[in-house]
């Protein structure tokens, strides 16, 4: 029986000729990732180990991003804990104020993930790096601690679902619309502990940023990981950002999939996930009654890259955010922030009446920089809209692309750019 991309990567990392779905393996890790919320828990776990040292200071990345700059005493104490750990073990890839970014945008940007890698991170959206042809998945802080100590982790080999992408998306349709459409189609548990493997001639029409967005939200369909084939775009991105060697794995022609779907990108439209699950999707055209919003957030590990900000700026240029609506723009990394500054995007945002934040997860998880009050609605480019996700349990979050979020900020209701 042939193997999928994911199965081939895991077999190689486990030193095996082949693996089958359901098989338990122990695999070598190329990167272990943590942030300012999850790493302190892992550090405390490591204190219980006989071996309290890290396996490779170059293969651990600690990114302060959720509550940075610190929002309160607790977050300050968490970051202090991680800073001291990073200094004690001389961690190479430690990122704090001034050089930080949202971890899942920063890791690829810094060249820490490449094709063929096996990566775990104590954050569920670690599946982002599948865009580069790597196996990456979220784990708990205890598994992170074990990974930092041993350089290994155990996995149950996942079965897979294949998504054949065909056609070319229209101007305002992006990776966010693709993944929201897919989650709406299969549900939030439609890929439970499965690898979501993307293929087809339509992949070439998706930018790397589109692919990062799609892989990022594989977990929102219950997926163990999401993964894309390595093509010329992928190779060009890795060569630009990393000096590391990469390894290309391709699915066998006779690889077995639990299900296969064909997604016609040319038929997709601007899509929104209504509260309180990412599967509650509608196209903007299907919204029959106006849905007024109080806040728009453009950013996060899902949609805070430079292409996202360019799209938002294109829509906001020469327009104004609707009065009494808050529009918050959050570049995903310092490099994105600087590039947006140099391109004049920040000027467009500010003149439109938006505010621009330093890179942070911030409002995505109801942390700060945009927490919602009772009864408020937010249109957001983030990845989750569970009850109370961005604030009060009686607030509402609607997930959308940067194009839809920007157009909605102007009109004060959920809208697409075509409505302007």
- CB count within 10 Å of CB 164 equals 16
Burial group, residue 189, by CB count within 10 angstroms (0-12, 13-18, 19+): exposed
Please tell me whether residues 328 and 207 are part of one structural domain.
no
Question: How high is the pLDDT of residue 420?
Answer: 87
Please measure the distance between the N-terminal and C-terminal CA atoms of the chain and give it in whole angstroms: 53
Provide the token pair at 71: 């929002």
289: left (phi over 0), alpha (psi -120 to 50) or beta: beta
pLDDT mean across residues, the chain: 96
Please tell me whether residues 300 and 229 are part of one structural domain.
no
CA distance 209 to 304: 9
pLDDT band, very low/low/confident/very high, at 231 (cuts 50, 70, 90): very high
| pLDDT over threshold 90, residue 51 | no
With a CB cutoff of 8 Å and minimum separation 6, the contacts of 11 are 3, 17, 18, 19, 25
Query: Rounded to 5 degrees, what are φ and ψ at 27?
Result: -120, 150
Q: For 146-181, what is each residue's pLDDT tens digit?
A: 999 999 999 999 999 999 999 999 999 999 999 999
Please tell me whether residues 225 and 132 are part of one structural domain.
yes
| DSSP run (H or E) holding 238 | helix 232-241
232, 248, 264 - which closes a domain: 264
| pLDDT over threshold 90, residue 90 | yes
Please tell me whether residues 46 and 117 are part of one structural domain.
yes
242, 264, 286 - which closes a domain: 264
Whether the CB-CB separation of 192 and 418 falls below 8 Å is answered with no
Q: For 342-376, what is each residue's pLDDT tens digit?
A: 999 999 999 999 999 999 999 988 889 999 999 99
Domain residues for the domain of 299 are 269-419
Please tell me whether residues 330 and 300 are part of one structural domain.
yes
| pLDDT over threshold 90, residue 100 | no
CA distance 152 to 120: 10
The pTM of the full predicted model, rounded to 2 decimals, is 0.95
Please tell me whether residues 147 and 13 are part of one structural domain.
yes
Q: For 269-280, what is each residue's pLDDT tens digit?
A: 999 999 999 999
Query: Rounded to 5 degrees, what are φ and ψ at 399?
Result: -90, 135
CA distance 42 to 45: 5
215, 248, 264 - which closes a domain: 264
Torsion angle defined by CA atoms of residues 73, 63, 46 and 140, in that order, rounded to the nearest 10 degrees: 100
Please tell me whether residues 251 and 273 are part of one structural domain.
no
Please tell me whether residues 119 and 251 are part of one structural domain.
yes
| DSSP run (H or E) holding 418 | none
| CATH code assigned at 155 | 3.30.499.10
Please tell me whether residues 277 and 260 are part of one structural domain.
no
Burial group, residue 323, by CB count within 10 angstroms (0-12, 13-18, 19+): exposed
- What is the average pLDDT across 204-227? 97
Q: How many domains does the chain have?
A: 2
Please tell me whether residues 286 and 237 are part of one structural domain.
no
Q: CA distances (Å), 350 to each of 247, 383, 400, in order?
A: 43, 25, 21
Please tell me whether residues 289 and 336 are part of one structural domain.
yes
Please tell me whether residues 250 and 281 are part of one structural domain.
no
Q: What angle do CA 32, 182, 4 make, to 5 degrees?
A: 55
């Amino acid at each position: 029986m042939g193997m999928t991309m994911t199965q081939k990567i895991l077999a190689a990392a486990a030193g095996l000729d082949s693996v089958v779905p359901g098989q338990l393996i122990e695999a070598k890790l190329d990167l272990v990732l943590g942030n300012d919320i999850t790493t302190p828990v892992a550090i405390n776990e490591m204190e219980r180990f006989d071996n309290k040292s890290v396996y490779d200071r170059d293969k651990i990345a600690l990114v302060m991003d959720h509550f940075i700059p610190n929002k309160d005493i607790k977050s300050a104490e968490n970051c202090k804990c991680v800073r001291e750990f990073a200094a004690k073990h001389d961690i190479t890839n430690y990122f704090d104020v001034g050089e930080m970014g949202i971890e899942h945008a920063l890791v690829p940007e810094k060249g820490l993930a490449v094709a063929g890698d096996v990566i775990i991170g104590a954050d569920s959206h670690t599946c982002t790096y599948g865009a580069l042809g790597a196996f990456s998945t979220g784990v708990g802080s205890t598994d992170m601690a074990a990974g930092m100590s041993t350089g290994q982790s155990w996995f149950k080999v996942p079965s897979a679902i294949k998504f054949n992408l065909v056609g070319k998306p229209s101007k305002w349709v992006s990776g966010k619309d693709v993944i929201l459409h897919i989650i709406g189609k299969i549900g939030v548990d439609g890929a439970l502990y499965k690898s979501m493997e993307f293929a087809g001639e339509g992949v070439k029409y998706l930018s790397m940023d589109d692919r990062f967005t799609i892989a990022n939200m594989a977990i929102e369909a219950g997926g163990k990981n999401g993964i894309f084939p390595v093509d010329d775009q992928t190779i060009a991105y890795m060569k630009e950002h990393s000096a590391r060697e990469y390894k290309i794995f391709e699915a066998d022609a006779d690889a077995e999939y639990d299900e296969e779907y064909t997604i016609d990108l040319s038929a997709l439209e601007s899509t929104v996930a209504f509260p309180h699950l990412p599967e509650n999707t509608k196209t903007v055209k299907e919204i029959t009654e106006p849905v007024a919003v109080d806040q728009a957030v453009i950013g996060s590990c899902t949609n805070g890259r430079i292409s996202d900000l360019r799209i938002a700026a294109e829509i906001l240029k020469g327009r104004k955010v609707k009065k009494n609506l808050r529009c918050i723009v959050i570049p995903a990394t310092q490099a994105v922030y600087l590039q947006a500054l140099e391109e004049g995007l920040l000027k467009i945002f500010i003149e439109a009446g938006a505010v621009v934040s330093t890179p942070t997860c911030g409002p995505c998880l109801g942390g700060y920089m945009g927490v919602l009050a009772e009864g408020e609605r937010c249109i957001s480019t983030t990845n989750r809209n569970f009850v109370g996700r961005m604030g009060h349990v009686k607030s509402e979050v609607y997930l959308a692309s940067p194009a839809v979020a920007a157009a909605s900020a102007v009109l004060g209701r959920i809208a697409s750019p075509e409505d302007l």
